[in-house]
Structure 1
Amino acid sequence: MTTFTPKTEEEVLEAVQWVLSEEVPVEVLGQGSKRAIGRPMQTEHAIDLSGLSGVTLYEPEELVLSAKAGTPVAEIEALLAERGQCLQFEPMNYGPLLGGEPGRGTIGGVLAANLSGPRRLKSGAARDHILGVRVVSGRGELFKSGGRVVKNVTGYDLSKGMAGSWGTLGIATEVTFKVLPAPETETTLAIRGLDDEEAARAMAIALGSSGEVSAAAHLPVTVTGKVIDGALSGKSSTLLRLEGFAPSVRDRTAKLKAYLQPAGEIDEIAEAQSRRLWREIRDCLPFADNTERCIWRVSMAPMEAHKMVANLRLGAGVDAFYDWQGGLAWLRMEADPEPQALRRLITHFGGGHATLVRAPVATRAAVDVFEPQPTALAGLSQRLKHQFDPKGILNPGRMAAA
């Protein structure tokens, strides 16, 4: 197996043109932090973008940053922090969950996987912050989409089209993201002892209040002791984050705490611990146990997810916790259930989608890792794939059986 390690956009283009001329499949990766997500691929070659690194433009006053696709996310976040800015969608780091090192992952991978974190319910995901992208397609052609301002799109927004494509349409060589001021401070309220249904109601009430909650999660008693060194052990924790300027956070915290007092005991988690807590929730660290036990990422209506999990538990051993006001359920299975059974339950409770983010290779080869698309949408996806990668050389079979 040959691994190409391009250092420039021109070398990426040359590598793709070579594998295209040979009509051999190629794996596309950055630092490999998400390599174990998706169906196993049978590829003869790889294009490793970790050497295509470096910030090419950063204008703090214009709230814009451009970087080569292989630039580590940690490097970008450190640069932004120096100027009091951040990626508002707080992209997840899959490394520890998949048995890798923390702090790995590239900015190109952020776009390819359309990553997000707890703030998604307020700020969206990577696709909502991408301004422009330069891409080498599976045709061996270089194209660019978007630019360095927000209102720059006429026709198809190919920048957003690359989000969530997992390297199957093209290889991003440079990306441009909108950046925003980082919150000055934050506080988290933890309502203790609620069951899943009570927590769903409490989070809905909090999100509907004037508290401007930026993140809401529920950790059942089996999970709550696995964050911030067990500081929340003993009772379930329903977590509400408030961010912004210190006086505003203090005022909103006091009002929301009084408003939610009937829900039960409420603890207050100060800034440093709060930041760590939400990073651990973002990266699914409660389930980062160095095993290959199957983990599903399920997105559905916030008031329905806990009902689906309760029904799933009637026939399977499952541990779970909830982010996005209950709309994102992380499930760790004691034994892998039939994916069809899980997806039937999701459909029964209003619909949604499930992604198998961790499993043994044999399991990933045998099931639909990503949510199967309806016939019409699948046909559209196939036509799009053919337009960008007619020979099917880029990450073949990763998202669906080739």
Structure 2
Amino acid sequence: MSIFQPKSEDEIVEAVQWALGANAPVEVVGQGSKRGLGRPLQTEHTIALSDYAGVTLYEPHELVLSAKAGTPVAELEALLAASRQAFQFEPMDYGPLLGQPAGQGTLGGLLATNLCGPRRLKAGSARDHVLGVRVVSGRGELFKSGGRVVKNVTGYDLSKGMANSWGTLGIATEITFKVLPAPETESTLVIRGLADDEAARAMAIATGSSGEVASAAHLPGNVAARVIDGALGGEASTLLRLEGFAPSVADRMTMLKNLLASAGEMADVSGDQSRRLWQEIRDVIPFADGTEQLVWRVSMVPMEACKLVASLRMGAAVDAYYDWQGGLVWLRMEGEPEADAVRALLRKYGGGHATLVRGPASVRAAVPVFEPQAAPLAALSKRLKQQFDPSGILNPGRMVAGV
């Protein structure tokens, strides 16, 4: 088994050209923090970008940052924080959920898996903030898309196409992102004791109001007990995050409390504790238990999510919590329920996407880890793979068997 650790863009091109010439499929990784995601690969060779790191451009006044693909996201976030800026899509860290240390994810992996966090409803995901990218395709050719300015309309936006490609189309070598000022202050309204369906209604009212809610989540009691060192207690907690200038946050907090006065007992969580709370929700810390117990990530119609969870609980032991106003459901399941059963219920309750994000390699090899695509979309994906990686040497089968 060979591990290539290129230190320059030219060496990345050479590694891909070698793999192409030898017809040798390769696994592409940064520091390997997301290896447990997707279908397990059967490759003898690896291209690891951990040595290809560093910031190539940062202009705080222009709100632009460029860095090499192997640069740790944690380092970039620290750099941005020093200028009171941030990635507004607050990329999650899969490391703890997958039994890896926190802070190991790289910029290339961030784009390849299209990361985001609880601010998704307001700020979007990685693909909504990428400005440009340099990529080595599976043909061993270097190309670039986009640029280093916020307004960029030249040609097809292939930089967004690299998002959520999981390293199957090409190897991003340098990526440029738009960055934005970090919120001056934040505070979270906690409504206690709501059932899942009641919480869904309360979150819908709040996000539909003029309160400018940045994030909305609901933690059932057993999950609420496992965040911020149990500070929420063991009672179900519906969470509404407000951000911005302090006077505005205070006014909007008062407005939400009046709007939802009949919902139940309320409390505030502010400052660093609020930030930590949403980080733990983002990184699925309640389910980061060091096991390979199955964890599903389900995106669906928000008001139907509690019905899906209730139906699943009729046949299996299920822990769940809701982010994105209920549009994102994190499920931890006892045993190994059939993926077809999960997806059948998903179709029953309005459709969406169910992704198996944690499980033993044997399970991930046996079931469709990602939501199966409809035939026309699957054909389009296959043609796209053929254009960028006709020999199928980059992360083969990571997303779909045989592709």
The alignment's TM-score, normalised by the length of structure 2, stands at 0.99
Superposition map of 1:239-388 within 5 A: 239-388=239-388
The amino acid that maps onto 1:321 is Y
1:98 aligns to 2:98 (yes or no): yes
8 A Cα contact 2:118 2:278, kept in partner? yes
Q: Which runs of 4+ in 1 moved over 3 A?
A: none
The amino acid that maps onto 2:97 is L
8 A Cα contact 2:64 2:150, kept in partner? no
**1:185 matched residue in structure 2:** 185
SS across alignment from 1:373: coil
The amino acid that maps onto 2:123 is S
Give, in whole Å, the separation in 1 of the partners of 2:319 and 2:234: 16
1:267 positional shift: 0.8
8 A Cα contact 2:295 2:332, kept in partner? yes
**1:391 matched residue in structure 2:** 391
SS across alignment from 2:53: coil
**1:79 matched residue in structure 2:** 79
The amino acid that maps onto 1:373 is Q
SS across alignment from 1:50: coil
8 A Cα contact 2:90 2:119, kept in partner? yes
1:305 positional shift: 1.1
The amino acid that maps onto 1:248 is S
SS across alignment from 1:346: helix
The amino acid that maps onto 1:312 is L
Aligned residues: 402
Give, in whole Å, the separation in 1 of the partners of 2:137 and 2:335: 39
1:151 positional shift: 2.8
SS across alignment from 1:204: helix
1:235 positional shift: 1.0
**2:140 matched residue in structure 1:** 140
Give, in whole Å, the separation in 1 of the partners of 2:357 and 2:44: 24
Give, in whole Å, the separation in 2 of the partners of 1:344 and 1:39: 21
**2:163 matched residue in structure 1:** 163
Give, in whole Å, the separation in 1 of the partners of 2:70 and 2:148: 19
Give, in whole Å, the separation in 1 of the partners of 2:311 and 2:136: 45
SS across alignment from 1:263: coil
The amino acid that maps onto 1:17 is Q
**2:126 matched residue in structure 1:** 126
Larger mean CA deviation between 144-153 and 87-96 belongs to 144-153
**1:152 matched residue in structure 2:** 152
8 A Cα contact 2:41 2:395, kept in partner? yes
**1:219 matched residue in structure 2:** 219
1:55 positional shift: 0.5
Give, in whole Å, the separation in 2 of the partners of 1:307 and 1:155: 44
Give, in whole Å, the separation in 1 of the partners of 2:365 and 2:252: 49
8 A Cα contact 2:86 2:182, kept in partner? yes
Give, in whole Å, the separation in 2 of the partners of 1:150 and 1:296: 35
Give, in whole Å, the separation in 1 of the partners of 2:102 and 2:391: 35
**2:34 matched residue in structure 1:** 34
C-alpha RMSD of the superposition: 0.7
SS across alignment from 2:329: strand
Give, in whole Å, the separation in 2 of the partners of 1:102 and 1:233: 25
**1:89 matched residue in structure 2:** 89
Give, in whole Å, the separation in 1 of the partners of 2:54 and 2:151: 25
1:153 positional shift: 2.8
1:233 positional shift: 1.6
1:270 positional shift: 1.5
Give, in whole Å, the separation in 2 of the partners of 1:55 and 1:320: 38
1:255-280 C-alpha deviation (Å, 9 max, x unpaired): 21122111000110011110000000
The alignment's TM-score, normalised by the length of structure 1, stands at 0.99
- Structure 1's unaligned 5+ residue stretches are none
The amino acid that maps onto 1:326 is G
1:150-200 C-alpha deviation (Å, 9 max, x unpaired): 332344210000000000000000000000000001000110000000000
8 A Cα contact 2:38 2:357, kept in partner? yes
Give, in whole Å, the separation in 2 of the partners of 1:171 and 1:287: 31
1:312 positional shift: 1.2
Give, in whole Å, the separation in 1 of the partners of 2:167 and 2:19: 15
The amino acid that maps onto 2:177 is F
Give, in whole Å, the separation in 2 of the partners of 1:130 and 1:301: 27
Give, in whole Å, the separation in 2 of the partners of 1:224 and 1:185: 23
1:63 aligns to 2:66 (yes or no): no
1:77-119 C-alpha deviation (Å, 9 max, x unpaired): 0000011100000000000000000111001110000000000
Give, in whole Å, the separation in 1 of the partners of 2:248 and 2:151: 31
Report the identity percentage.
72
1:251 positional shift: 1.2
The amino acid that maps onto 1:350 is G
**2:234 matched residue in structure 1:** 234
The amino acid that maps onto 1:324 is W
The amino acid that maps onto 2:54 is G
- Structure 2's unaligned 5+ residue stretches are none
Give, in whole Å, the separation in 2 of the partners of 1:367 and 1:393: 22
